């Protein structure tokens, strides 16, 4: 049996790869990068992946996918044990995967080049945990503090969350946005 962390990596990576592989076609949508249009599933409900996963348009020859590993995501996907394992009471966690067909992405300094903004307040990442160090398909979990200096949660019921990867393959900003409530 796979350890829980490896199972998470497998499930999330499979979901991200599916989105990335189907996203290689041209996209003429008018949505902003990081705000792909959401289409309800057949039962008129958005899936957990549609709610919590964002992808860009592959600018600069690099496709980036980001999954906000929120507690509700794990409840919706019946993986509640990961809420405790990832310490989501104290951490905001994002799984980031990058895909390119040329060049080496494994040395991109994620900790230095990523910023999370919650309601206009910038947060610096506290940890980057590599899940895959592949030169063409690197992936990892990026951790941010879930509480401010006074111990209060940084997320509110109507927060706007923006994850920004800066200067990846010549693209100054790659922004991924979640508006609460989802």
In tens, the pLDDT along 18-40 reads 444 444 433 433 333 344 444 44
Give the domain CATH number at 66: 2.60.40
Domain annotation covers residue 32? no
Domain annotation covers residue 37? no
Domain annotation covers residue 88? yes
Domain annotation covers residue 28? no
Prediction pTM value? 0.79
Domain count, the chain: 1
Domain span including residue 65? 4-23+50-145+154-179
Pick the closest to residue 129 from 112, 142, 114 (CA basis): 142
In tens, the pLDDT along 134-164 reads 999 999 999 999 999 999 999 999 999 999 9
């Amino acid at each position: 049996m796979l350890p829980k962390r490896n199972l998470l990596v497998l499930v999330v990576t499979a979901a991200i790869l599916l989105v990335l592989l189907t996203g290689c076609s041209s996209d003429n949508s008018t949505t902003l990068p990081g705000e792909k249009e959401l289409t309800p599933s057949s039962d008129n409900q958005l899936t957990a992946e549609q709610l919590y996963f964002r992808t860009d348009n592959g600018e600069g020859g690099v496709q980036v996918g980001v999954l906000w590993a929120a507690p509700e995501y794990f409840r919706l996907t019946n993986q509640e044990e990961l809420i405790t394992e990832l310490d989501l009471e104290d951490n905001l966690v994002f799984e980031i995967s990058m895909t390119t067909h040329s060049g080496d992405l494994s040395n991109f300094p994620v900790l230095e080049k990523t910023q999370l903004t919650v309601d206009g307040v910038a947060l610096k990442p506290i940890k980057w945990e590599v899940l895959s160090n592949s030169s063409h398909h690197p992936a990892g979990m990026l951790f941010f503090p879930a509480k401010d200096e006074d111990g209060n949660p940084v997320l509110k019921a109507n927060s706007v969350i923006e994850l920004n990867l800066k200067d990846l393959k010549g693209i100054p900003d790659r922004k991924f946005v979640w508006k609460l409530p989802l």
